[in-house]
Amino acid sequence: MTAGAFTFCLIALHLLGMLTAMHAVMHARTPQGAIGWALGLILLPYLTLLPYVYLGSSHFFGYRIGHLVPPTRTGPAQPTGTASLDTACSRYAAISRLAGRPFRGGNRLRLLIDGDASFNAMLAAMAAAEHCLLVQFFIIHDDTLGRRLQQVLLQQAAAGVQVCVLFDGIGSYALPQRYVETLSAGGVQIHRFATHRWRNRFQLNFRNHRKIVVVDGACGFVGGLNVGDEYLGLKPPLAPWRDTMLELRGPAVADLQQLFADDWQWITGSMPPMCQAAIADGDSSALIIASGPADPQETGSLFFAAAINAARQRVWLSTPYFIPDHAVRAALQLAVLRGVDVRILIPSRADHHTVFLASTLHAYQAVRAGIKVFRYQPGFLHQKALLIDREAAAIGSINLDSRSFRLNFEVAALAVDHGFAADVTAMLIDDFGRAREINEREYLDAPYLRKVAMHVAGLFDPLL
Residues that are catalytic? 209, 211, 216, 382, 384, 389
- Alpha-carbon gap, residue 392 to 315, rounded angstroms: 10
Residue ranges of alpha helices (H) inside 100-232 are: 114-127, 144-158, 177-185
The phi-psi region of residue 217 (left if phi > 0; otherwise alpha if psi is between -120 and 50; otherwise beta) is left
- Alpha-carbon gap, residue 118 to 377, rounded angstroms: 21
- Which residues are within 8 A (CB) of 349 and not within 5 positions of it... i.e. 6 or more apart? 237, 238, 379, 380
CB-CB contact of 313 with 389 (8 Å) = yes
Q: Is the dihedral of CA 362, 365, 370, 373 positive or negative?
A: positive
Integer CA distances (angstroms), 245 to 117, 231, 357, 392, 411, in order? 9, 12, 27, 16, 12
- Alpha-carbon gap, residue 334 to 336, rounded angstroms: 5
Distance of CA 8 to the CA centre of its chain: 46
- Alpha-carbon gap, residue 354 to 460, rounded angstroms: 9
- Alpha-carbon gap, residue 160 to 325, rounded angstroms: 47
Of 112, 113, 158, the closest CA to residue 133 belongs to 158
CB-CB contact of 318 with 428 (8 Å) = yes
CB-CB contact of 325 with 308 (8 Å) = no
- Which residues are within 8 A (CB) of 161 and not within 5 positions of it... i.e. 6 or more apart? 129, 130, 131, 132, 133
For 196-324, strand residue ranges (E) read 207-208, 212-215, 219-223, 244-249, 284-291, 314-318
Give φ, ψ of 374 to 5 degrees.
-125, 145
Q: Which helix (H) or strand (E) holds 163?
A: strand 162-168
CB atoms near residue 17 (< 10 Å) = 23
Q: What share of the chain is helix, strand, coil (3-state, %, to 5)?
A: 45, 20, 35
Of 30, 64, 3, the closest CA to residue 325 belongs to 30
- Alpha-carbon gap, residue 380 to 192, rounded angstroms: 28
